[in-house]
């Protein structure tokens, strides 16, 4: 059974439609990321799950029961806020114990549970401190502790890592993955960072313009993006989009060079999406001029300017190319993504025979 079901959920503030009809079934125990650019409606969606906003239309079910009218405190969910929202006048121990106190848990049991959570999150030495005496990462852990101590059915996390520096962020990412593995509860995680979504989630819902663009595992979303928006949003460096042209016999050409054979009418001009890691330099291929070269050490990102547009290539770190140099590149036909030039949706199975499944 799914832990959370969203059925035709809509939300509008005045005239503005923020969420425009979301259907989503979150499997029990999943780590779901709601991923999308800012203003896409992902936070509103999370706040509706929390009960902090009421849907204008549609149903929210938790474990099968409709919770639209259930107040936040009675939903058996905990939320970690982007700003942590720790009570500044309370100590760490009091902060963590607060939800238990409000639920009338006896004092003795409270102390035991706070101690257990503090142990799990290594907060023991900090229990008597006030939030302002803690670093960002420590505050983050206290906020997690306050959520954990209730042992709720569902955890909601609203961009909890965005206020941390890069090192701490990757450290906390690992801790969260480990935590999810250990407690096995359903977690819903809002982020605009596709790297966080890819590394942490069991499921991703890519959201844009108030609708779910794609729902699937990180691999599915990465390998088979359903449209240009998803394709461009997931992956660093971003997928390159160039104009293709279909000739006689389904020959797909990129800047005049044949790159694949597709099942499409001659004269069609699909958008070709190419991921940087699928691009290779070759003796024969699409002619291009080398633009920006970014050596990262173990690899080098090279921007290749061809007649159809700019393609980024992820090449081995020892690749010796100079800006301005003329090269040729090629990409595996099976790894090209084709999108409708107008609507941007993925053209399903356009290949003749050479379609490969890398999922």
Partner 1 sequence: MSAAAAIPRAGISDRLLGPLLIAPVVVVLGAVIAYPLFAALALSLFAVDTLTLDAQWVGLGNFGELLGSDGRFWTALVVTLVWTAATLALQLVLGIAMALLLNRDIWMRSLARSLVLFPYFISTVVAVLVWRWLFNDFFGLINLALIGGGVIDAPVDWLGSMPNAFVSLVVVGAWKFFPFVVIAVLARLQSIPESLYEAARLDGAGVWARFRDVTLPQIGEVLGIVVLLRAIWDFKEFDLIFLLTGGGPIDATRTLPLIVYQEAFGLNRMGMAAAYAVSMMIVMLGFFAAYRAAVRGRA
Site mask for partner 1 (CB under 8 A), range 51-70, x = bound: xx------------------
Q: Which helix (H) or strand (E) holds 182?
A: helix 166-183
By CB under 8 A, name the one of 13, 23, 59, 87 that touches partner 1.
87
The distance from CA 124 to its chain's CA centroid, rounded to whole angstroms, is 32
Tokens of 32: 């779901």
Q: Which is nearer to partner 1, 102 or 258 (CB)?
A: 102
Distance CA 236, CA 32 (A): 20
Q: How many Å apart are CA 307 and CA 287, to the nearest integer?
A: 8
User: Near partner 1 by CB under 8 A, which window of 76-84, 128-136, 205-213, 287-295?
Assistant: 76-84
Sole binder of partner 1 in the list 110, 146, 180, 337 (CB under 8 A): 146
Residue with smaller CB distance to partner 1, 102 or 356: 102
The correct pick among 18, 62, 78, 260 for binding partner 1 (CB under 8 A) is 78
Is 77 one of the binding residues for partner 1 (CB under 8 A)? yes
Which residue in the block uniquely carries the two structure tokens 């906020």?
143
Residue owning tokens 């002619």:
287
Using CB under 8 A as the binding rule, whether residue 81 contacts partner 1 is answered as yes
Q: Considering the complex, state which of residue 85 and residue 347 has its C-beta at the smaller distance from partner 1.
A: 85
Query: What is the C-alpha separation between 331 and 325, in angstroms, rounded?
Result: 19
Interface stretch with partner 1, choices 88-96, 250-258, 302-310, 351-359 (CB under 8 A): 88-96
**Does 133 contact partner 1 by CB under 8 A?**
no
Stretch that binds partner 1, among 97-105, 131-139, 334-342, 344-352 (CB under 8 A): 97-105
x/- mask, partner 1, residues 33-52, rule CB under 8 A, reads -----------------xxx
Alpha-carbon dihedral angle through residues 189, 50, 161, 159, given to the nearest 10 degrees: 70
Q: What is the largest CA-CA distance in the chain?
A: 79
Crossing angle (nearest 10°) for helices 166-183 and 136-148: 20
Token pair listed for 318? 């020892």
107 belongs to the binding site for partner 1 (CB under 8 A):
no
Q: Is 356 in the site for partner 1 (CB under 8 A)?
A: no
Rounded Cα distance, 326 and 304, in Å = 9
In 3D space, the residue among 1, 11, 6 whose CA is nearest the CA of residue 215 turns out to be 6
Under rule CB under 8 A, how many of the chain's residues touch partner 1?
23
Instruction: Give the whole-angstrom CA distance, residue 326 versus residue 309.
Output: 15
Q: Which one of residues 21, 58, 72, 344 is an interface residue with partner 1 (CB under 8 A)?
A: 72
Q: Which residues ranging from 254 to 313 are in contact with partner 1 (CB under 8 A)?
A: none
Which residue reads 């919770």 in tokens?
Answer: 67
Q: Which residues bind partner 1 (CB under 8 A)?
A: 50-52, 71-74, 77-79, 81-83, 85, 87-90, 98-99, 102-103, 146
């Amino acid at each position: 059974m799914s832990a959370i079901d969203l059925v035709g959920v809509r939300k509008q503030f005045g005239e503005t439609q923020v969420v425009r009809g979301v259907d989503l079934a979150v499997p029990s125990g999943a780590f779901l990321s709601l991923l999308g650019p800012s203003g896409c409606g992902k936070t509103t969606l999370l706040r509706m799950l929390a009960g902090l906003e009421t849907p204008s239309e549609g149903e929210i079910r938790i474990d099968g029961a409709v919770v639209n009218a259930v107040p936040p405190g009675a939903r058996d969910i905990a939320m970690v806020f982007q700003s942590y929202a720790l009570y500044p006048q309370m100590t760490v121990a009091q902060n963590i114990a607060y939800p238990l106190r409000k639920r009338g848990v006896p004092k003795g049991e409270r102390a035991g549970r706070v101690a257990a959570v503090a142990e799990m999150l290594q907060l023991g030495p900090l229990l008597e401190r006030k939030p302002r005496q803690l670093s960002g990462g420590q505050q983050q852990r206290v906020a997690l502790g306050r959520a954990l101590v209730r042992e709720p059915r569902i955890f909601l996390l609203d961009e909890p890592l965005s206020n941390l520096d890069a090192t701490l962020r990757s450290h906390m990412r690992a801790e969260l993955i480990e935590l999810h593995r250990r407690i096995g509860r359903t977690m819903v995680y809002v982020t605009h960072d596709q790297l966080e979504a890819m590394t942490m989630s069991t499921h991703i819902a890519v959201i844009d313009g108030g609708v779910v663009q794609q729902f699937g595992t990180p691999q599915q979303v990465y390998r088979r993006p359903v449209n240009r928006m998803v394709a461009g949003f997931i992956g660093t460096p971003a997928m390159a989009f160039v104009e293709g042209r279909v000739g006689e016999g389904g020959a797909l050409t990129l800047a005049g060079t044949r790159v694949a054979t597709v099942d499409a009418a001659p004269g069609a001009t699909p958008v070709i999406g190419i991921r940087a890691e699928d691009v290779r330099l070759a003796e024969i291929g699409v002619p291009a001029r080398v633009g920006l070269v970014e050596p990262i050490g173990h690899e080098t990102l090279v921007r290749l300017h061809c007649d159809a547009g700019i393609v980024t290539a992820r090449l081995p770190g020892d690749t010796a190319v100079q800006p301005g140099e003329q090269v040729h590149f090629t990409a595996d036909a099976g790894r090209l993504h084709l999108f409708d030039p107008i609507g941007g949706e993925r053209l399903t199975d356009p290949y003749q025979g050479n379609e490969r499944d890398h999922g």
